[in-house]
Amino acid sequence: MTHIPEQTDDKPRFSFEFFPTKTPQGEEKLREVHRQLAALQPDFFSVTYGAGGSTRDGTRHIVEAIHQAGSAVAPHLSFGGSSEADILTLLNDYKAMGIARLVALRGDIPSGTGATSSYYYANELVEFVRRHTGEHFHIEVACYPEIHPKSESYDSDLHFFKKKVDAGANGAITQYFYNADAYFYYAERCQDLGIGIPIVPGIMPITNYANLARFSANCGAEIPRWIRQRLQAYGDDADSIRDFGIEVVSQLCDALLDGGAPGLHFYTMNQSGPVSAIWHNLGLSAR
């Protein structure tokens, strides 16, 4: 098994991602999911930011609630169509709130808007945050072991990832994948380029085949044929899909941690069940 040398942190780091909810009922449910997952003592939670800033207030609201409940939390942030002044206000709000970590992204562009903002790419957002807030925030950025779907080539995507690191990113979280070799190969190429920040695998539990297939097609994540075949064969049998998903994803996480990955970031989809089961399988409860 390949080992990833020279990560800056040697203690594995675990984080759980939420997306903002739209209704009071959804928020109450999310607070309960947060309570359940906080009991696992992750290093931090993160909250996504909708395309073009569409969830700006929702993200800020959930971030504040998680922070007040006593958990470390990292808001996701992107320029989208927002002005510099708006983004600066949000950064200062987060700073005043006591938030110390951000996930800086270009964000998905809402269709029909075009690339209007002058701060469009994630490396430019990282530069902006550093210029205005110095070293206050620990900045995470995104990266893509199976390569961003709009990238010209493998090498160009690596090149642009390095620009984010050179701009001041402290860590990276990957797009999800189900093939550990893609991650290890990518981590080695990053190392060849002198990228020394921790590259934490993003983990997507499997709970619903149709949603996973649609989402994966959009974000360029490959579902290996054998996994696809099994999931398709289960049809509407949600229990079998859940059990198979937990088994496959637990094995993936095990292989990643065994091979030297510096932690795991779970895309929880605002559910505690699958993540808790995987956590238990990995024997992390006792950490």
- Judged by the rule CB under 6 A, the positions of this chain that interact with ligand FAD are 48-49, 51, 76, 103, 105-108, 121-123, 142, 148, 150-151, 156-157, 160, 164, 173, 175, 202
Nearer of residues 73 and 173 to ligand FAD, judged by Cβ: 173
Alpha helices in the chain (DSSP H): 24-38, 56-68, 84-97, 122-133, 154-167, 180-192, 209-219, 225-234, 238-258, 273-281
**Catalytic annotation on 247?**
no
Nearer of residues 90 and 241 to ligand FAD, judged by Cβ: 90
What separation in angstroms does the CA of 115 have from each of 13, 83, 218? 34, 13, 19
Nearest distance from C-beta of residue 22 to ligand FAD, angstroms: 15
Dist. CA 188–CA 158, nearest whole Å: 11
Dist. CA 179–CA 176, nearest whole Å: 9
Whether 133 and 91 have beta carbons less than 8 Å apart is answered as yes
Nearest distance from C-beta of residue 104 to ligand FAD, angstroms: 7
Nearer of residues 126 and 241 to ligand FAD, judged by Cβ: 126
Nearer of residues 44 and 242 to ligand FAD, judged by Cβ: 44
Other beta carbons within 10 Å of 260: 17
Q: Please, is 200 exposed, middle or buried when counting C-beta atoms within 10 Å of its C-beta (0-12, 13-18, 19+)?
A: buried
Whether 140 and 171 have beta carbons less than 8 Å apart is answered as yes
Which residues are catalytic, by number? 17
